[in-house]
């Protein structure tokens, strides 16, 4: 079985300060891990993905995430928050070689304080 | 390339009716997945189609069904609508079947279904 746990349902940061969104995963096999972002009334957009290559993954809009197998974590970070980063963020897991669907975390709402 | 398109974008139905939602994947993509998004349950997988065959199914009642056509376009149908079916229904496409593509799924903007 596979699952992801997003440790914070809501994160608020000031514009220009670092962002940290936390995600722990559980998977019986080597997983693929993703971070998606959803802006209000929009579909989901992929930020970045990990598929067993480099453990530090760089994504779009300055986001990056580090896969830590020993901690079963895949936290999302950004050095400096921008107002346009305000959105809902989802951590997602999928089996690499299985026939499994995407399993979504419950989401973290990121608020940027001007 | 055009992205994933979903029609209609908004829909209002009453309890007991049925509804059909449509999804056109990115050109060349053969796998289409459907998800339901609600405030209470979050994002839940409905089913996945690849080459006109359902490959994966989530834990939804039989009132939820889908199909895929030879051009990879997909439809999902919900019969005997209930109030709890009110949700954002998202469609996603990917080049190969989920789990083998090692890649992301590309999502459409969704269809907002309201059941009164």
Chain B residues within 8 A of A87 when measuring between CB atoms: none
Query: Which residue in chain A has the smallest CA separation from B40?
Result: A106
Q: Digits of tens for pLDDT over chain A (114 positions)?
A: 778 999 999 999 999 999 999 999 987 777 888 999 999 877 899 999 887 778 899 999 999 999 998 999 999 999 999 999 999 999 998 865 555 578 899 999 999 999
SS3 content of chain B, % helix, strand, coil (to 5): 5, 50, 45
**Continuous H helices in chain B:** none
Residue A90: CA atoms inside 13 Å, Cβ hemisphere, count? 20
Chain B residues within 8 A of A99 when measuring between CB atoms: 55-56, 97-99
Q: Smallest Cβ distance to B42: which of A42, A100, A104? A: A104
**Residue of A57, A54, A55, A61 whose CA lies nearest to A79:** A61
Please say whether the beta carbons of A74 and A67 come within 8 A. Answer: yes
The C-alpha of B58 sits at a distance from chain A's nearest C-alpha, in angstroms, of 8
**Residue of B63, B30, B61, B62 whose CA lies nearest to B48:** B30
Query: Could you give the CA distance from residue B106 to residue A103 in angstroms, rounded to a whole number?
Result: 15
For residue B18, is pLDDT > 90? Answer: yes
Q: Do the strands B74-78 and A23-27 form a parallel or antiparallel pair, or are they unpaired? A: unpaired
In this prediction, residue B100 carries a pLDDT of 55
Which of B5, B93, B104 to mutate: most A Cβ within 10 Å? B104
In this prediction, residue B55 carries a pLDDT of 85
Tokens matching residue B88? 């954002």
Question: Which residues touch B51 (CB under 8 Å, ≥6 apart)?
Answer: B30, B68
Average pLDDT, chain B: 91
Query: Could you give the CA distance from residue B92 to residue B110 in angstroms, rounded to a whole number?
Result: 9
The order of strands in the sheet holding B74-78 is B5-7, B19-24, B74-78, B64-68
Query: Could you give the CA distance from residue A20 to residue A81 in angstroms, rounded to a whole number?
Result: 10
Mean pLDDT value across residues B110-115: 96
In this prediction, residue B116 carries a pLDDT of 96
Query: Could you give the CA distance from residue A34 to residue A98 in angstroms, rounded to a whole number?
Result: 16
For residue B101, is pLDDT > 60? Answer: no
The C-alpha of B24 sits at a distance from chain A's nearest C-alpha, in angstroms, of 14
Asked if B98's CB is within 8 angstroms of A49's CB, the reply is no
């Amino acid at each position: 079985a596979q699952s992801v746990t997003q440790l914070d349902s809501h994160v608020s940061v000031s514009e220009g300060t670092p962002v940290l969104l936390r995600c722990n995963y559980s998977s019986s096999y080597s997983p693929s891990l993703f971070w998606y972002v959803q802006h209000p009334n929009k579909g989901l957009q992929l930020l970045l993905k990990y598929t067993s290559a480099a453990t530090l993954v760089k994504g779009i809009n300055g986001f990056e995430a580090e896969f830590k197998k020993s901690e079963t974590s895949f936290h999302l970070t950004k050095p400096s928050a921008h107002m346009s980063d305000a959105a809902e963020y989802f951590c997602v897991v999928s089996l690499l070689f299985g026939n499994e669907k995407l399993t979504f975390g419950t989401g973290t709402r990121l608020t940027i304080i001007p | 390339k055009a992205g994933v398109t979903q029609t209609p974008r908004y829909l209002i139905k009453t309890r007991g009716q049925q509804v059909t939602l449509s999804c056109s994947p990115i050109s060349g993509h053969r796998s289409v997945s459907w998800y339901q998004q609600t405030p209470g349950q979050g994002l839940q997988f409905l089913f996945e189609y690849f080459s006109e065959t359902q490959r994966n199914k989530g834990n939804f009642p039989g009132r939820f069904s889908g199909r895929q056509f030879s051009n990879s376009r997909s439809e999902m149908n919900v019969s005997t609508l209930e109030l709890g079916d009110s949700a954002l229904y998202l469609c996603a496409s990917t080049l190969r079947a989920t789990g083998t593509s090692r890649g992301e799924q590309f999502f459409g903007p969704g269809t907002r279904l309201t059941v009164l």
